[in-house]
Chain A
Amino acid sequence: MELQTNLRRIILAELLVPLALFIFGAYHGVMQTIYMSGVIRATSVAGISYYEGLTAHGVINAIVLTTFFAVAFGYTVISQQLKSQVSIAGATLSLVLMLSGAVMAAVMIFLGKASVLYTFYPPLMAHPLFYVGLALFIVGSWVPLWTWIPVYLRWRKENRGRKTPMGVVGILATFTVWQMATVPVAVEVLVQLLPWSLGWTHGINVMMSRTLFWFFGHPLVYFWLLPTYVMYYTMLPKLAGGKLFSDFAGRFTFMALILLSCPLGLHHQFADPGISTTSKGIQGVLTLLVAIPSLLTAFTLAASLEYAARQRGGKGLFGWWSKLPYFNPENWLFPYLFCGLLIFLFGGITGIVNASYSMNNVVHNTAWIPAHFHLTVGGPIFLGILGGSLLIVTGLMKKPVVSGTMAMIVPYVWMVGTFIFSYGLFMGGLRGEPRRTNLGLTYMNPASPSYRPDWWVPAHMGMVGGCIMGLAVLLYFIVLIRSLAAAPDAAASQAPFALPTSEPYHDEDVPAVRNFTPWVVAAVLLCAAAYYVPIRDIAKNGITTAPGFRPDSPAAVDTTH
């Protein structure tokens, strides 16, 4: 079934505008690796300071691009798999709010008035419009779920007894997690940060802000990951030429992530004062539990790929891996998903290390951390976004992919880049190299008393890797632009665009994973239980008088006029 015309336009805008912004985000990523190696030793280049660029990189790549993709992909999946129309008014409202919010935040960043990084930790204070932009963006992203739920409920009524399509389960799980996750950050932005930045309140409880932010910040990564999991469970087996090994595994993973995404943000605050080891310990245990659905996913996807490879004649205990469609230009999407999985193998274990309570002391805020997340959000998630966007954009616009070969190469180049980048940063991190720091001015400057020659190799590996990642992005945009500019594909115009969908090999019927309600209720209760004590303590003990500071000056911002 063809998508509604207006929906088609909205989805295209939601995919293409963030990709255009991403050009800046990618530029700043590559630039950072050059600053950090000491090849450039400067506060700023071309009028953009290191920290301004770092803020842009985080906000554009990790918030704007990821959220817009989830929304656009969500609309595509819901419409197609439920074969239903969705509310255009809702989709339009969502687009307008998210777009104005994103533009507002981006403008503030590029005016140098919000160099607070994408975590915007107070007491560093940005311009009020930065916070307004963020709030608009978040509120806009709430709208789609509430327009999808009635469509879904109607489908359930009309299809009694049928399993909800896997992709729909995954998208609804994605946005359920998002809805729960964004409440605390909305409170932080609207109740704490915005009035404070306007001078309406004087003083802020910084521990509370941090806790509210990370209450959001951890489920944020599952919000990023879940659409990619939808692609893995619904598209990958088909692209490989096989079937999904276990239907249960997908549904279980989606339900388990609804339950366990939120009540564990404290593992980002293991090094914080003001929170007891008891609270940190409880959430630490929960964090290790959330690894279980992903470990299960690894097995299920391996089994699905094996099934496909054996269909193609794969033999032996390990030899079958060679029979997968790695280098087929017609099947250019497969490597986006496969390389993402390979990268995620290393992203996963390094995440488990971060979560392992006291082991966090070894790695917190060192370069290990960006090394880890470039192998997760910068791995499967990012490649899923690139591949999924190219698929949907060319599909909806009936364009050919020009060329399939170059499109196919992008994920491999990206993978090489991220492995070199992250290996360098893991090494540097274990040697004490900090993250989020303009190393070139001091630590990587031989003329500085702070010079650290033992970080030279890691920082240069980061730069080499970063440049290769930049090359992959360049190739991707060449493909995207050439495809958009090409004449419509006659063959594609005949059939409506459809996302590839896989059949299950084992189609287990396990009622426990076919009902959202108990999982959502349990998730809310678990969040309340995990966070009640720490938040109560911080509200009672935390000071509320911290003034604001601009990144440029140690003098407190005077908002008492």
Chain B
Amino acid sequence: MSINVFEKRAFLVAVASVAVSLALIAYATWGMGINVPTCIPLGSKPFEQASVTKHEGKNYEVHYVARMWAFEPSVLRVPTGSTLDMYAVTKDVTHGFLIAGTNVNLMLVPGAVANSRVHFDKPGIYTIVCHEYCGRNHQNMNARIEVSDQIADYSVEGLPADEGMKLLDAKGCLACHSVDGSVGVGPTFKGAWGAPVTLADGSTRTLDAALFLQKVRHPDTIAVQGYPPVMPDLPLTDDEISQIEAYLEGLQK
């Protein structure tokens, strides 16, 4: 005997329901451009630094970096009506990236770049939450985007470069090195990064990561011509050094 008639009809209803859902999803995807994250092509390798770049109009490209247990940048302020093209990477473990009230819902996986585009047409504070367990302080990991009618252009906090400036102040570097070109006990940082520097022995080096690291870790092995060799030992971590470097890179003449 064959399949019971009511089972056959129930089966057809089930298939039809699934078909309707699929059709609506297809419409959302191709008709309205709502999609899940896709694979970013091989050319765009994970970037190292967080940054914000303004494009034409109210369009911003934001590079987020996630690490245990913070997002860089921590605060981004944009005018109402902005469109953000966000790329996000992780420096360590898998993190999540959820902006409640939007459809931005990403996993950040080592070695890959996540991407989502979001348009903010309503002012407010949008919290970015890490929603994938990433260790002990996972519940502390969040950031925010403030969308406001009151501002014309973006501002940002918590980029490594900002952290670098705060460190220069906190660790006492600014006592001897200026950031605005003025003369001090030590050479000014303004425009110094990547520029040639003459050492006391007459040789010329470029101020790059290697030289900077050597000077910071072993201050008395390098003396700069025209300046007293009085730089003290400083207990800076690798993270702090890279944040300072990021700041110095931005300090052009």
A residues in contact (CB < 8 Å) with B:
43, 49, 51, 54, 117, 121-124, 205-207, 210, 245-246, 248-249, 269-277, 280-281, 284-285, 288-289, 291-292, 295-296, 299-300, 303, 352, 356-362, 364-366, 431-432, 434-439, 441-443, 450, 506-510, 537, 541-543, 545-546, 549-554, 556
Contacts and interface: CB of A to CB of B under 8 A. Distances in A.
A122 B93 CA distance: 7
A270 B36 contact: yes
Given A352-B21, A450-B142, 11 more contacts: A123-B94, A246-B3, A246-B6, A249-B4, A271-B36, A357-B25, A434-B98, A436-B132, A441-B140, A542-B111, A556-B92
Contacts of A299: 6-7, 10
Given A296-B10, A508-B1, A121 B94 contact: yes
Nearest to A439: B139
A205 B1 CA distance: 53
B29 A357 contact: yes
Contacts, number: 210
Given A117-B133, A205-B111, A249-B7, A295 B17 contact: yes
Q: Which 10 A-B pairs have the closest CB atoms?
A: A432-B100, A543-B111, A434-B131, A273-B112, A295-B14, A554-B68, A299-B10, A365-B131, A274-B112, A551-B135
B110 A206 contact: yes
Contacts of B40: 273-274
A443 B211 CA distance: 43
Contact of B42 (A300, A436, A541): A541
B147 interface: no
B105 A431 contact: no
Given A246-B7, A361-B105, A275 B133 contact: no
Nearest to B70: A554
B72 to A, nearest CB: 13
Contacts of A276: 38-39
A549 B93 contact: yes
B98 A356 contact: no
Contacts of A434: 96, 98, 129-131
Interface in B54-78: 67-69
Given A245-B4, A274-B112, A551-B136, A123 B28 contact: no
A470 to B, nearest CB: 23
B25 A552 contact: no
A443 B134 CA distance: 16
Contacts of A549: 68, 92-93, 135
11 contacts: A121-B133, A270-B37, A292-B18, A295-B14, A358-B29, A361-B103, A365-B98, A434-B96, A436-B132, A438-B138, A553-B68
Nearest to B144: A450
A509 B1 CA distance: 6
B6 A303 contact: yes
Contacts of A546: 110-111
Nearest to A548: B93
A248 B115 CA distance: 47
Contacts of B67: 554
B25 A358 contact: yes
B118 to A, nearest CB: 11
B114 interface: yes
Most chain B beta-carbon contacts within 10 A, residue among A434, A541, A550, A551: A434
Nearest to B14: A295
Contact of B18 (A289, A365, A542): A289
Contacts of B200: none
Contact of A510 (B3, B106, B114): B3
B98 A442 contact: no
Interface string B185-225: 00000000000000000000000000000000000000000
A442 B111 contact: no
Contacts of B136: 43, 49, 51, 551-552
Contacts of A431: 100
